[in-house]
Structure 1
Amino acid sequence: MDTTRMEHKNKKKKRGRKLFLFLLVLLLIITGYTVFQYYQGLQMADAGDKKENYEFNGDTDENGRVNILLMGVDSRSEEKSRTDTMMIAQIDPKTNETKLVSLMRDIYVEIPGYQNYKLNTAFYLGGPELLRKTIKQNFGVEIQHYMLVDFKGFEKTVDILAPNGIKIDVEKAMSENIGVQLEQGTQRLNGKELLGYARFRADREGDFGRVERQQKVISAVKEEALSLDSLTKLPKMIGATQPYIETNMGKFDQLGLIKDVLLDSNNIKKLTIPVEGSYTNGYYEHAGSVIEINFAQNSEELQKFLNE
Structure 2
Amino acid sequence: MGSDARDEDGRSDTLMIAHYDQTTNDVKLISIMRDSYVDIPGHGMNKINAAFALGGPELVRKTIKQNFDIDVNYYALVDFKGFPKIVDLLAPDGIEVDIPYEMSHGIGMTLHPGKQVLHGNELLGYVRFRHDRLSDFGRVERQQEVLGKVKEQIGVSSLMNIPKILGVADSYIDTNVDNKTILTIAKGIVNGKSKGMDTLRIPVAGSFEDKRENVGDVLDIDFDKNKQALEEFLSSKDHKKNAKTDDVSSQGTKVSN
Residues 107-186 of structure 1 aligned to structure 2 (within 5 Å): 107-160=36-89, 165-186=94-115
Q: Alpha-carbon deviation of 1:268?
A: 3.2
- Maintained 8 Å contact 1:219/1:262: no
Of 143, 167, 171, which residue of structure 2 is paired with 1:243?
Answer: 171
- Maintained 8 Å contact 2:95/2:146: no
> 2:215 matched to 1:287?
yes
- Maintained 8 Å contact 1:161/1:234: no
Q: Deviations over 1:284-307 (max 9, x none)?
A: 2x4222111111111122123224
Q: Do the aligned partners of residues 113 and 151 (structure 1) sit closer, same or farther apart at CA in structure 2, a change above 3 Å counting?
A: same
Q: Do the aligned partners of residues 270 and 106 (structure 1) sit closer, same or farther apart at CA in structure 2, a change above 3 Å counting?
A: same
Aligned mates of 2:2, 2:156 — CA distance in 1: 26
Residues 53-68 of structure 1 aligned to structure 2 (within 5 Å): none
Aligned mates of 1:298, 1:78 — CA distance in 2: 28
Q: Specify which structure has the higher proportion of helix.
A: 1
Whose Rg is larger? 1
Q: Specify which structure has the higher proportion of strand.
A: 2
Aligned pairs, number? 235
Q: Which residue of 1 aligns with 2:183?
A: 255
Q: Which residue of 2 aligns with 1:81?
A: 10
Q: Do the aligned partners of residues 78 and 211 (structure 1) sit closer, same or farther apart at CA in structure 2, a change above 3 Å counting?
A: closer
- Maintained 8 Å contact 2:156/2:190: no
Residues 182-193 of structure 1 aligned to structure 2 (within 5 Å): 182-193=111-122
Q: Which amino acid aligns with 1:72?
A: G
With normalisation by structure 2, the TM-score equals 0.78
> 2:8 matched to 1:91?
no
Q: Which residue of 2 aligns with 1:36?
A: none
Q: Deviations over 1:194-249 (max 9, x none)?
A: 11111222222222222221122123334554485x67655433321222121112
Q: Alpha-carbon deviation of 1:252?
A: 2.0
Q: Does the residue aligned with 1:152 lie in a helix, a strand or coil? A: coil
Q: Deviations over 1:19-68 (max 9, x none)?
A: xxxxxxxxxxxxxxxxxxxxxxxxxxxxxxxxxxxxxxxxxxxxxxxxxx
Q: Do the aligned partners of residues 198 and 95 (structure 1) sit closer, same or farther apart at CA in structure 2, a change above 3 Å counting?
A: same
Q: Deviations over 1:160-197 (max 9, x none)?
A: 45667543221211122223221112233231221111
Unaligned runs of 5+ in 1: 1-70
> 2:185 matched to 1:219?
no
Q: Do the aligned partners of residues 302 and 149 (structure 1) sit closer, same or farther apart at CA in structure 2, a change above 3 Å counting?
A: same
Q: Alpha-carbon deviation of 1:276?
A: 0.9
Aligned mates of 1:259, 1:176 — CA distance in 2: 39
Q: Does the residue aligned with 1:187 lie in a helix, a strand or coil? A: strand
Q: Alpha-carbon deviation of 1:130?
A: 0.7
Q: Which residue of 1 aligns with 2:198?
A: 269
With normalisation by structure 1, the TM-score equals 0.67
Aligned mates of 1:242, 1:262 — CA distance in 2: 22
Once the two structures are aligned, what percentage of the paired residues are identical? 50
